Structure 1
C-alpha cells in the first residue's frame, strides 16, 4: 500500500495512495481489517503544503485509498487516462466524483505542480499506462520507477523502450527510487506473451469447464484469456463485479480488442462443459469472492462438476497461503482439479515486477548517484541495494516506513522522522 512523499522548499508532493486487503493494523493484532491504508496523519496535518497527488498506475496498492482519504488532502490529482477512469468510478461510489479535480496527463508530458516539475515516462507492467516519473526541483532530479518490468511483448500496449531510459544518463539523475518486489529473483522476468502461450497450451487440451482465477486489475491477463477462448472455441465469461468493471473501463478507454466478445455470466451455466472459459475473482482465497462461492457450490451463475479445472493465474501473496490452500482443498474434495503455478513448468502466471537482471540494466542505463529501494520487505530492499552497488551506483539508502531520505544539499538517511502506522478504511 504505497504512499510516498517528496518535499522541497516547504511543499510536498504525494506519489500514489494505495490500500492493502485483509491485513492486521499491527504485527501483534490477530483481527484483520478488510481494507487498510497507511496512516496519512503526517501530511494531512499540513495539507496546506500538499500541492498535488500523482498516481503512477491503476493497481489498488497505488490508487485504492484515494477515494477514502482525499477529504483529508483536498488537492488536485494527476494521472493518465486509463487510471483516471478507474479512479472516477471509485470516486462515484463514495460521492466524490464532482469534487476531486483530476488532471489527465500523457506519456512524455510535463506538469508544474508547485515547486515540482513532474514528467511521465511509460514503461511496462501488468496494467495499461504504468508510468515512471521524473520529479525535478532546483535541488535535483529524482527518477521514481513505480511498478515495472522489461517486457518486450506485453500483450497490451507497446513493448519496453530501453532507449528512453538510456537517455536519462544525460539528465544527471540524483536518485532512483526503485521497485524491489522481485529483487531476490535471479535472471529476467517472463513476458506476458509467454504467459498467454502457456495458458493457451494448457487450456486447449481440456475437455471440460475451465475457470481461471486472477486479479481483476491484470487487464493484459484478461485479454490473453479472451484470445485463448477465441482460439479454443470457448466462450469467455467474467465472474465478479470488479472484473466486469475493469473490462468496462478497458472498453471505454480503447484497451479491450473489438474481436474478443464476452458472454453474459448468466448464460454460462447453459453451455456445454467444453465451451466454458470463465475468469473469476478470488485467487487469494478471499471469503466473499467468486472462487470461494464456486468452491462452496453457491455461485448463482455457474456450478462446477468433477473433473472441471480451476487454474490459478496469480501469485500466492505472502500471508494468504492458508486461505488459498483451504480453497484448493475444497475444490479437490469435490474432485474438481486445480492447477497452480508450482504444479506446472509452464508460466501460467508471470510477475509484473523486475528480476535482478532487469534492475541491473536499469541502474546501468540511468546511472543515478543514489539508489533508494522501495516496495518490498527488508530482504528485498537489501537485495535491490546490492544490485545497485554492483551496478556502480555510488550511494544506496535502505530505510523503513517513516524514515527521511535527504538528497540535497547532502545525502543522509534520518531514521523514524515521521510516525507511521496503518488505519482501517473498512473493518
Structure 2
C-alpha cells in the first residue's frame, strides 16, 4: 500500500483536475513528506460528472472545480500554490479552495493582480499571502526548488515551471505554444528549454490540447492581417467577441479599429477589468484609446467597433444582449458584422449556435473562425510540430500528457515516443504517477471528483 505522504526518496505527480479533461487544472507534486500545488482552476457551465461533459441534457452548474478534499485533509504538508498564468481554468478556483488551505500563493505580477481582484470581489482584502514572483525567478518552496520560465501563450506572463528536487527534476509546461511573434511579451526562446536537456529532466508534464492537429500553432501576430482585412471591408458596425484574458488580441483589435477610423467600446465587465489590469501592469499601450460604452450608440455605424464578451454563448454576456437587441448602450442593425475571434469550446456548441442564428435572422453578418478563410483566431496551445520540437529540446526520460481528453493525451504520448522519449505515462485525474524510486502509475489512488462553487 502506497503511503499517503511521499518520503525523501519519492517523487510523485497527482493530478486532481485537468488530466482526462480540458480545464479545471489542479496538480500536486509530492516529495519528502511535502506537497506543492501547481494551478487551481475552474470551469463554467459544467456538470459534476465528467461522463456528462458531452451530454447537452446534463445538469450544469455555473462554476465547477476539482474536488480538493484530498489535499485539504493534508494541508499541513502543502508548501504552497504556484500559479502558471491567469486563465480561469488555472486560477478560477483559488478564492474558493484557498481558505481551506491557508498556504502561500506564488504568482507573477499580472497573475497576482488578477487574483487579488478576485479575492476583493469576494470581500477578502487583508492578510492574503500572495507572493509576487518575477518571471524567470527561482525560489525554494519547502523541499522543492521552483523556477518560473517565460513561455508563449495567449495572455501576459505565461510561465512554464521547472520543479527540482533531490531525486529528480520535473518540467511542467502548463499552457503553451511556440510563438516567435506573440504581439505581447517575449518571443518563444528555444535555448531556454534546450538547456534542460543537459539536466536530465526526469519527467515532462505537457499540455495536450491540440496534439491531434498537424503543423505548428498559428502565431498571435497572424490574426492582425485576417481581422484587419475583414474590419476594413465592413460597412456598418463591427462587433468582435473574444476571450477577455487575451490582452494581445484586444490590443490588435483596437489598433485595427484606430487605423480604420473606428471608435472602440468594451461591452462586458471582464473586458473592462482585464484592460484595467493590463494598464496597471504596463501592458496596455498608452496610445490606444477606448470610448465609454454609453457613447458608442450615438456614433455613425461605420465609426463603431465593439469588443464584447460572450464568445461561448454565455446568455448574460454582452454579445447575447446585442443579439437579442436588449443591450442598453447600442442596437445592432441589418448590415452590421459580428466576428467570433475565438474557437468553440466543446460543450458550448448549442448556446453559440443559438446566438449565431439570432444574429443571422436579423440580417447581421456572422463570421466564425472555424469557417473563415482568414486567420481571425490563434490557439494558445501546441500542435503536433510544437510538441515534436519541445520534446526534442527537453529530452525528458518520461512524458506525462495532461490538459486534454483521452484522445489528445494518447496522441501526445505517441508524439513523445516518436521523438525518442523512453517512457510515456497516460492516466487520469486521481491516478498517482510515481516517478521515484521507481516509475509506475497507481490507478485511482484518489477518488477524483468535481464540486460546484458559488459565484
TM-score scaled by length of structure 1: 0.99
User: Which residue number in structure 2 is paired with residue 308 of structure 1?
Assistant: 336
- Are the aligned partners of 2:343 and 2:370 in contact in 1 as well (CA < 8 Å)? no
Candidates 38, 45, 59, aligned match of 1:15: 38
User: Which residue number in structure 1 is paired with residue 14 of structure 2?
Assistant: none
Are 1:385 and 2:408 an aligned pair? no
- Are the aligned partners of 1:132 and 1:146 in contact in 2 as well (CA < 8 Å)? yes
User: Which residue number in structure 1 is paired with residue 17 of structure 2?
Assistant: none
Match runs of 1:283-322 below 5 Å: 283-322=311-350
- Are the aligned partners of 2:150 and 2:186 in contact in 1 as well (CA < 8 Å)? no
Q: CA deviation at 1:344?
A: 1.6
Are 1:4 and 2:27 an aligned pair? yes
Are 1:78 and 2:106 an aligned pair? yes
Candidates 363, 366, 369, aligned match of 2:394: 366
User: Which residue number in structure 2 is paired with residue 271 of structure 1?
Assistant: 299
Q: Which one is further off, 348-357 or 93-102?
A: 93-102
Q: CA deviation at 1:312?
A: 0.2
- Are the aligned partners of 2:235 and 2:335 in contact in 1 as well (CA < 8 Å)? no
Are 1:354 and 2:354 an aligned pair? no
Q: Which one is further off, 391-400 or 336-345?
A: 336-345
Q: Where do 4+ consecutive residues of structure 1 move more than 4 Å? A: none
RMSD, aligned α-carbons: 0.9
Alpha-carbon distance in structure 2 between the residues aligned to 1:409 and 1:69: 31
Are 1:257 and 2:276 an aligned pair? no
- Are the aligned partners of 1:237 and 1:268 in contact in 2 as well (CA < 8 Å)? yes
Match runs of 1:103-118 below 5 Å: 103-118=131-146
Q: CA deviation at 1:368?
A: 0.3
Are 1:55 and 2:78 an aligned pair? no
Alpha-carbon distance in structure 1 between the residues aligned to 2:125 and 2:64: 22
Alpha-carbon distance in structure 2 between the residues aligned to 1:271 and 1:251: 26
- Are the aligned partners of 1:33 and 1:426 in contact in 2 as well (CA < 8 Å)? no
Secondary structure of 1:135's aligned partner:
strand
User: Which residue number in structure 2 is paired with residue 227 of structure 1?
Assistant: 255
Long gaps (5+) in structure 2: 1-23
User: Which residue number in structure 1 is paired with residue 209 of structure 2?
Assistant: 181
Secondary structure of 1:204's aligned partner:
helix
Alpha-carbon distance in structure 2 between the residues aligned to 1:208 and 1:314: 21
User: Which residue number in structure 2 is paired with residue 97 of structure 1?
Assistant: 125
Alpha-carbon distance in structure 1 between the residues aligned to 2:119 and 2:453: 15
Long gaps (5+) in structure 1: none
Listed one character per residue, the Cα deviations across residues 187-239 of structure 1 (whole Å, up to 9, x for unaligned) are 11111100111101111111110000111111111011011111111111110
Alpha-carbon distance in structure 2 between the residues aligned to 1:99 and 1:421: 30
Q: CA deviation at 1:107?
A: 2.3
Listed one character per residue, the Cα deviations across residues 95-144 of structure 1 (whole Å, up to 9, x for unaligned) are 22313201111122111111111001001000010000110111100000
Candidates 354, 368, 372, aligned match of 1:340: 368
Secondary structure of 2:356's aligned partner:
helix
Q: CA deviation at 1:147?
A: 0.4
Alpha-carbon distance in structure 2 between the residues aligned to 1:32 and 1:311: 27
Listed one character per residue, the Cα deviations across residues 38-64 of structure 1 (whole Å, up to 9, x for unaligned) are 000100011111110000000000001
Are 1:217 and 2:259 an aligned pair? no
Q: Which has the higher contact order (CA 8 A, sep 6+)?
A: 2
Secondary structure of 2:288's aligned partner:
coil
TM-score scaled by length of structure 2: 0.93
User: Which residue number in structure 1 is paired with residue 6 of structure 2?
Assistant: none
- Are the aligned partners of 1:223 and 1:256 in contact in 2 as well (CA < 8 Å)? yes
Secondary structure of 2:233's aligned partner:
coil
